[in-house]
Structure 1
Amino acid sequence: MEQERVNPWEWQSEMGYSQAIEVRQSDRVLYCAGQTSMDSEGNPVYPGDIRAQINKYFDNINQVLTNADFKLADVVQIDCYTTDVNGLFEHWDLITDRLEQPTCTLLGVERLAFPELLVEIKPTAMR
């Protein structure tokens, strides 16, 4: 698979995302459900701790990607939903350190499926 990031400006690179990504010669696309800070029984964990919830998200999405024979480097798009936009930006480094400038949409929402959850991220991966 070949990827080309399309960034007519520089400012988005400081935020760790791309305006667009053109993908050529892709064999597979993996559309994922939004992933959150849930344990293996489906219970929310780390209430009130957005940093711990983001780390748990990456544990969970790594498991989903691995089971589908993908890896984090294959993620080209994320949709982020959070009840605390400022709190998410304070810990944005957790996302930019692990993902290679995917395209991104970030929405502040009133609440997620469980009131304890502060962030949900829905990735799309391509290979």
Structure 2
Amino acid sequence: MNKRIINPWEWQNERSYVQAVEVTKPEGTLYISGQTAIDDYGKSSTSNMKAQLILSIENLEKVIKEAGYECENIVRLNIYTTSSEELFTCFDVFQNWVTEHNIRQASTVLEVKSLFETLKIELEVTVVK
């Protein structure tokens, strides 16, 4: 796989995403359903945004590893949240995770009216190999 980052500007770097990612010659592409703060028994979290973000990331990592892919090869990551304001109070958790795994992904953050049951955040990802 060859991956090329396209960034005509620099300002997005502080926001932990890139403007575009071109992938050529991939061995595989993994499209992951939105991962949320649901435990191993299917119970939705009632915790705050930070705790839900952490569990959503952990669930996402579990799916990626189970499929034989790596977090660093995430090329698209959409964030759905019921409160952008609340998300940005703990956005450092997301940014630290992106930095730790050297993820350079195209992203969109969308505030939605609601998610399933008591959930506040959902991470939708595409990973390549």
TM-score normalized by structure 2? 0.92
Secondary structure of 1:81's partner?
A: strand
Runs of 4+ in 1 over 3 A off after TM superposition: none
1:119 maps to 2:121: yes
Q: Output the amino acid matched with 1:35.
A: Q
1:108 maps to 2:84: no
Secondary structure of 1:31's partner?
A: strand
8 Å contact kept, 1:13–1:101: no
Judging by fraction of residues, say which structure has more helix. Answer: 2
Q: Percent identity?
A: 31
TM-score normalized by structure 1? 0.93
Q: CA RMSD in A?
A: 1.1
Unaligned runs of at least 5 residues, structure 2: none
Distance 2:52 2:18 in 1: 24
Seen in structure 2, the aligned counterparts of structure 1 residues 90 and 101 have a Cα distance that, compared at 3 Å, is: farther
Distance 1:96 1:7 in 2: 18
Distance 1:24 1:105 in 2: 22
1:1-127 alignment runs, 5 A limit? 1-45=1-45, 47-99=46-98, 100-114=103-117, 116-127=118-129
Unaligned runs of at least 5 residues, structure 1: none
Distance 1:72 1:31 in 2: 13
